[in-house]
Amino acid sequence: MSYNKTTIPALLRERGTAFELLEHAPMHTMEDMDAAGLTVRGNVPKNLFLRDMKGKNHFLVTAMENKRVDLRALAETIGSTKLSFASAERLEKYLGLLPGSVSPFGILNDESRSVQMIFDADLRGEERLGIHPNDNTATLFLRFADVEALIREHGNSIAFVHFESL
């Protein structure tokens, strides 16, 4: 099954998870989200899909908008070789996503459960987190704890990292 703008809300309803779905024009950057007023409705984090130097390990990083994701420091923290942004081909292969639609919900498309999820530690306790349902024409607002539980149940590993503020 491919998890998308239709199937993710259905899954959340089935689980009894409270959420709000807001449809909008395509959002490609955090600046687009800010300009559309989405970031005032809840904490809308940024998402990065990374790979290690040899391309054997992949990481989906979700961090607060006001945090700096230093790839060198992150590699050291998680015990990885040099990190870089993964290609659009890798994004589609591992998470079934297109550029501009990277989201923690992409993990649900990782059938091999090989992508490690890395969350900004400051996301814990967020009551209104705004994330794409694997489609940048909508944003789901829900509790971080519900997102974390869904990913844990899927079986991907999760790490929490402290990122520096901008």
pLDDT band at residue 89 using 50, 70 and 90 as cut-offs: very high
pLDDT above 70: percentage of residues in the chain: 100
pTM of the model: 0.95
> 116, 60 in Cβ contact below 8 A?
yes
All structural domains of the chain with their residue ranges: 7-165
Residue 153 class from Cβ within 10 Å (0-12 exposed, 13-18 middle, 19+ buried)? exposed
pLDDT band at residue 32 using 50, 70 and 90 as cut-offs: confident
Tell me: pLDDT of 75 over 90.
yes
- Which pair of tokens denotes residue 5? 């703008």
Q: Which residue has the higher pLDDT, 32 or 154?
A: 154
How much is the mean pLDDT over the chain? 96
Tell me: pLDDT of 33 over 90.
no
> 52, 81 in Cβ contact below 8 A?
yes
How many other C-beta atoms are found inside a 10 Å radius of the C-beta of residue 156? 18
Q: Once rounded to an integer, what is the mean pLDDT over residues 123-149?
A: 96
Q: Once rounded to an integer, what is the mean pLDDT over residues 106-117?
A: 98
DSSP result, 79-121: T-S-EEEPPHHHHHHHH---TT---GGGGGG-TT--EEEEEEG
Phi, psi of 20 (to 5 degrees): -125, 130
Q: Which fold has domain 7-165?
A: YbaK protein (3.90.960)
> 126, 119 in Cβ contact below 8 A?
no
Q: Pick left, alpha or beta for residue 17 (phi over 0 → left; psi -120 to 50 → alpha; otherwise beta).
A: beta
Q: To which residue do tokens 């704890």 refer?
A: 145
Tell me: pLDDT of 163 over 90.
yes
Q: What is the pLDDT of residues 64-74, one digit of tens each?
A: 999 999 999 99
Which pLDDT score is estimated for 37?
A: 87
